Structure 1
Amino acid sequence: MVSAATLLIAAPSSGSGKTTITAALAWHHRRLGRKVRVFKCGPDFLDPQLLGYASGAPVDNLDLWMVGEDLCRQMLADAAQDADVILIEAVMGLFDGEPSAAELSTRLGLPVLAIIDASAMAQTFGALAFGLAHYKSDLPFYGVLANKVAGDRHAQMLQESAKPEHWQGWLGKHEALPERHLGLVLPNEIPDLAQKLDALADALASQPIAALPPVIDYSTSARPALAPLLAGKRIAIARDAAFCFIYPANLTCLSEMGAELVFFSPLAHEALPDADALYLPGGYPELHAATLAAHPSIAADLRHWLAADKPVFAECGGMLALCELLTLMDGASHKMWGVLDATATMQKRLSALGMQAFDLGAGELRGHTFHYSTLESTLQPLLHATPCRLGSQGEAIYRQGSLTTSYVHAWMMSNPAASAALFGTTA
């Protein structure tokens, strides 16, 4: 059995300030010399990068469907081995989704802090807090924090409306962290991020929430070792500002199966490394299309690679870079690497969002899709992914020679054997 002070930070809805306050709390505890681990509910790539900056450690995702309850428990227990504080940022509203952050909380016994944007309310704050606390009788509710408060008098009204044992303080109005079409901008694009986090942590330091949250016990049981399906394999992975949507657990999965991982930056016009397989994750190729299109050697290198029948797995943004043409929101078009018989067009509205799974013959691999582009191709899909929720459309999975590509971002730990198969090795 291991223990760590633990808190799941939720809200009635998106946009309430969960990410900002989770990052500020991580920064606060870290400034006090505590070792902090942060997790993010759901399949998000962007919030974890900010939370990783604030906590000083990689941020893994927790989700009862994509990750699975057993692995969620194991990752929390592993984190508790050496962390003083574990913070978990919820997704959307506390009870939104199937499964929701509330269900994760009740199944794993995670105390819940609710963040409420109080900028346009007074005593109704207490009613909303009471509803969140009591909507599910088995929810381990810890408390409530008011966000975007106008000042001391406003805070007093809010506090008086809430149950005393639930009040965890307040945070005044503050500048929002910058966003773009997929969410928050990357931490390295916010030059004064450390100063912003200092200011937020200073504001929270005098509030009740600054104390350590409840200590939770986690059962320790050794996770079975992964089969060495990728032993001796060298996998090249694109990683830079254009290819930044990489689950830390995916890298862990590949490494634990024995793969040697070698990273390179297409944005820096680095050559395709000498390797046995290639992983092109998602990211923001649309923000760097001209630079990626001008890479002097990668298009030819990829053609030689595919001619040699070396496996390539490309997800979402990685797929866009492989297209013949990428048209941006402003109408400008760029000739991309041209190894995939397809063209992509950026849209001003979200094109798809949701959890999906696919099976290429080695078992079901789970993940999610989230993109603002559309794809046109003469290729016939090998198959379509299966949405987690009925009514959604399954993404096309394409196979062109040794290339496998789709809009679906795979959570590789959901089926390590199926993940190994993407890179040319079967059990």
Structure 2
Amino acid sequence: MTAERHCPALFIGACASGQGKTTIVAALARHHRRQGRRVRVFKTGPDFLDPMILERASGAPVEPLDLWMVGEALCRRKLYEASGEADLILIEGAMGLFDGAPSGADLAAAFGIPVLALIDARGMGQTLGAVAMGLMHYGAAKGIEFWGISANRVASARHAEMIAAGMPPELPYLGPIPRLEAVLPSRHLGLVQAAEIPELDARLAAAADQIQDLALARLPEPCRFVPPTQPAGGTTLLPAETKALQGLRIAVARDLAFAFIYPENLKLLQALGAELIFFSPLADQCIEADAIWLPGGYPELHLTELAANRAMKQSLHAHARAGRPIYAECGGMLYLLERLTDHQGQTAELIGLLPGEGQMQGRLAGLGMQSLVLPQGELRGHSFHHSTMRTPLAPVSFGRRQAGGQPGEPFYHCGPIRASYLHLYFPSAPRTAAELFMVS
């Protein structure tokens, strides 16, 4: 019988987005790693950018935890496995602690993980205590255990005194966090990719230096992690499924333009028997494979280079003419269009395997959890994009929004090409994911 495990763990949440969660989690991960501890970091909800930073900080892959997209059974399994190899587990929340259904608070309560709540102190003094009290009382009703509350981005010693004066004595206040240097720059989809941040390791080291003597840098008490009692939903592969992609060579685009990939998606394709190779639409001239995956990313930031690589365009056209599958998500779908216009109004001719054009917008154009129901099953994932597209193609189906079940993003099937704005989490329905890369 598998035994329960104990490992220190913290859920780092906040009262809203933009409170500095990723910077603090990255600083904590780097600090504890420098102490010789093995650190595993998870990110609540769908995200590609924060995990890139957190992986650099912790030295280990960062996977999503989400009670809807990933499922409670697989979340439990991930945490149990991490508790057997780590000295500390950190989970970064998304948005505010109680935002979403299920929320980060629901995740923390489900697995008995104490919460460190961050509150951005800019523009606040004694009122921060009232906000903290509200979080505590609201969380207590939901079964949340608070490990501590910290005031983030505190400007000065006087500012810290004002905050402390308004803090109720019964709250586990851990004290102020000074305004750290600008560690993590951002752009329209969130943080800048780790590979694009100059001297990122030096920035992470500096952040770790600034928090190493604070109360929140101490090692929390161990949490209890029980063995999974049921299979992890759709991720349990039947014997026949383990060979669903046997002998198939799948080429995955991965460079600065296309990098939004869940590590578990790659692992699942390999578990299904596929051989994975990686290529760069920015730099490579051709690709030979049985199927191609074009994930999301930032094609709009690399229009000139993508348009200039005509050899890759010819290679993709040859692949499609041969009837070999191409699966494209979000930015990958935009890359397959005839034209794409960026935020500055610059337009470039792209691959042209899908009729139509894309246009970057100044505001969010799509956001939220959605599932994609196909004949083989239901894949879960999410939508998050700042572009719109016009195409004469008729969708073969639509995503289904998590809230209300209303129609979501259109899903296109044009010859060997399957494409949508959705970022799908393959382990939610392995057999269905395999079909995306098979000849129909």
State whether TM-score is above 0.5: yes
Paired residue for 1:144? 149
Q: In 1, Cα distance between the equivalents of 2:307 and 2:76?
A: 43
Q: In 2, Cα distance between the equivalents of 1:57 and 1:115?
A: 24
Q: Residues 26-41 of structure 1 correspond to what in structure 2 (within 5 A)?
A: 26-41=29-44
Size of the alignment, in residue pairs? 425
Q: Is the 8 A contact 1:37 1:79 kept in 2?
A: yes
Q: In 1, Cα distance between the equivalents of 2:303 and 2:221?
A: 47
| Greater mean alpha carbon deviation, residues 128-137 or residues 158-167 | 158-167
Paired residue for 2:175? 169
Shift of 1:134: 1.6
Partner-residue secondary structure (3-state), 2:30: helix
1:5 aligned to 2:8?
yes
Q: Residues 59-70 of structure 1 correspond to what in structure 2 (within 5 A)?
A: 59-70=62-73
| Greater mean alpha carbon deviation, residues 389-398 or residues 156-165 | 156-165
Identify if the C-alpha distance between structure 1 residues 270 and 31 changes in structure 2 by more than 3 Å, giving closer, same or farther: farther
Q: Is the 8 A contact 1:237 1:263 kept in 2?
A: yes
Shift of 1:202: 1.5
Amino acid at match of 1:147: N
Q: Residues 206-217 of structure 1 correspond to what in structure 2 (within 5 A)?
A: 206-217=213-224
Paired residue for 2:281? 266
Paired residue for 1:359? 373
Partner-residue secondary structure (3-state), 2:175: strand
Partner-residue secondary structure (3-state), 1:340: coil
Shift of 1:152: 2.4
Identify if the C-alpha distance between structure 1 residues 294 and 166 changes in structure 2 by more than 3 Å, giving closer, same or farther: same
Percentage of pairs with the same residue: 50
Q: In 2, Cα distance between the equivalents of 1:376 and 1:59?
A: 35
Shift of 1:425: 7.3
Partner-residue secondary structure (3-state), 1:293: helix
Q: In 2, Cα distance between the equivalents of 1:81 and 1:292?
A: 44
Amino acid at match of 2:388: T
Amino acid at match of 2:64: N
Q: In 2, Cα distance between the equivalents of 1:162 and 1:28?
A: 29
Shift of 1:77: 1.2
Shift of 1:76: 1.1
Partner-residue secondary structure (3-state), 1:87: strand
| Residue in structure 1 matching 2:21, options 18, 23, 41 | 18
What RMSD over aligned residues (CA atoms) do the two structures have, in Å? Answer: 1.7
Partner-residue secondary structure (3-state), 1:297: helix
| Greater mean alpha carbon deviation, residues 194-203 or residues 406-415 | 194-203
Q: Is the 8 A contact 1:111 1:214 kept in 2?
A: no
| Residue in structure 2 matching 1:385, options 399, 405, 411 | 399
Q: In 2, Cα distance between the equivalents of 1:118 and 1:344?
A: 40
| Greater mean alpha carbon deviation, residues 186-195 or residues 337-346 | 186-195
| Residue in structure 2 matching 1:376, options 364, 367, 390 | 390
Shift of 1:270: 3.9
Where structure 1 has 5 or more consecutive residues not aligned to the other structure, the ranges are none
Paired residue for 2:205? 198
What TM-score, normalized to structure 1?
0.96
Shift of 1:276: 1.4
Partner-residue secondary structure (3-state), 2:310: coil
Q: Residues 123-142 of structure 1 correspond to what in structure 2 (within 5 A)?
A: 123-137=126-140, 138-142=143-147
Q: Is the 8 A contact 2:340 2:347 kept in 1?
A: yes
Paired residue for 2:108? 105
1:315 aligned to 2:305?
no
The C-alpha deviation readout for 1:184-231, integer Å capped at 9, x for no partner, is 111222213222222221121111111112211222348645631222
Shift of 1:96: 0.7
Paired residue for 1:93? 96
Q: Is the 8 A contact 1:7 1:214 kept in 2?
A: no
What TM-score, normalized to structure 2?
0.93
Q: In 2, Cα distance between the equivalents of 1:124 and 1:202?
A: 29
Q: Residues 209-358 of structure 1 correspond to what in structure 2 (within 5 A)?
A: 209-221=216-228, 224-225=236-237, 227-228=241-242, 229-272=244-287, 274-358=288-372
| Residue in structure 1 matching 2:195, options 188, 200, 204 | 188
Q: In 2, Cα distance between the equivalents of 1:75 and 1:163?
A: 37
Shift of 1:83: 0.9
The C-alpha deviation readout for 1:3-46, integer Å capped at 9, x for no partner, is 22100000000011111101110011011111111111111111
